[in-house]
């Protein structure tokens, strides 16, 4: 039996999804991928999972979330909207996902050494002031149930957003780069203002070879967040290295975003 030719083969597609581009203030075009559940939204709107590194995480997050939702009571996970933002090339990703630290340069030999840094606040502003209104104009969303999830520098940015009192209600930081800025996140979480109705999950593998440069540990950051009113916890992902932790943490992130417990809190 012959295989279909490329001319007639149809690519696999995700049902109930859309892809569009949106420019930032500096003219950079971000590709955004969105997936939504079947049927009308609940009266309060859909909970939203905002995913960084969207090109890597959109498909697996969408199929995993839908599988968990089909399991219903066995998983404890409901349905929700997934918004994944493509990071683009490595230089742009590093710039967008790193918070500004005056005079800081990533040391030689560490990840992203020599790259431009410090665009994190501008990127968070883009998400809040340009992308979020676009999403809320197309879909009815629950403003009390929005989760930001990122890996590595993306996890760093999620914790930075939380320490600044960001508009998301849930934060998932997978393998966050706590070493960045000579321990920036450790300093920010110790000095942050008290917050209410925020939850955070930090996750990392037990086979990660994280760079040195920060005295802050997961336990330190969780303790600081908890002391400032955040419902925070840490999870160890057995057998996972830095490159595999985002996939290993996906179910936990989706559960935090769409789980029944989060829904009850929002009612």
What tokens appear for 208 in the block? 């990660």
What tokens appear for 115 in the block? 């790259």
* Three-state SS letters, the chain: CCCCCCCCCCCCCCCCEEEEEEECCCCCEEEEEEECCCCCCCCCCEEEEEECCHHHHHHHHHHHHHHHHHHHHHCCECCCEEEEECCCCHHHHHHHHCCCCCCCCCCCCCCCCCCCCCCHHHHHHHHHHHHHHHHHHHCCEEEEEEEEEEECHHHHHHHHHHHCCCCCCEEEEECCCCCHHHHHHHHHHHHCCCCCCCEEEEEEECCCCCCCCCCCCHHHHHHHHHHCCCEEEEEEECCCCHHHHHHHCHHHHHHHHHEHHHHHHHC
- Nearest CA to 203 out of 171, 169, 173 is that of 173
Q: Tell me, yes or no, if 175 is annotated catalytic.
A: no
Given the residues 75, 86, 151, 152, the one annotated as active site: 152
Q: Tell me, yes or no, if 208 is annotated catalytic.
A: yes
Q: Tell me, yes or no, if 242 is annotated catalytic.
A: yes
Given the residues 208, 241, 244, 265, the one annotated as active site: 208
Q: Which residues are catalytic?
A: 152, 208, 242
């Amino acid at each position: 039996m012959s295989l279909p030719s490329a001319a007639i083969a149809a690519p696999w597609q995700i049902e109930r999804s859309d892809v569009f581009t949106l420019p930032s203030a500096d003219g950079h075009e971000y590709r955004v991928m969105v997936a939504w559940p079947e049927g009308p939204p609940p009266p309060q709107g859909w909970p939203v999972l905002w995913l960084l590194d969207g090109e890597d995480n959109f498909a697996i997050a969408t199929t995993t979330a839908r599988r968990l939702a089909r399991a219903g009571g066995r998983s404890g996970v409901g349905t929700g909207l997934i918004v994944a933002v493509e990071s683009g090339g490595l230089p742009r990703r590093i710039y967008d996902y790193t918070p500004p630290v005056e005079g800081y340069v990533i040391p030689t030999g560490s990840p992203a050494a020599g790259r431009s840094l410090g665009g994190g606040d501008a990127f968070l502003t883009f998400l809040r002031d340009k992308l979020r209104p676009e999403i809320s104009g197309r879909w009815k969303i629950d403003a009390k149930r929005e989760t930001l999830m990122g890996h590595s520098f993306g996890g760093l940015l999620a914790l930075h957003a939380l320490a600044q009192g960001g508009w998301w209600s849930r934060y998932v930081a997978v393998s966050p780069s706590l070493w960045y800025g000579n321990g920036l996140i450790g300093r920010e979480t110790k000095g942050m203002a008290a917050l209410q109705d925020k939850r955070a999950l930090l996750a990392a593998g037990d086979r990660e070879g994280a760079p040195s440069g920060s005295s802050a540990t997961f336990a330190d950051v969780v303790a600081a967040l908890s002391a400032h009113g955040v419902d925070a916890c840490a999870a160890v992902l057995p057998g996972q290295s830095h490159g595999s932790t985002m996939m290993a943490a996906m179910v936990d992130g989706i559960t935090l975003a769409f789980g029944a417990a989060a829904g009850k809190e929002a009612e």
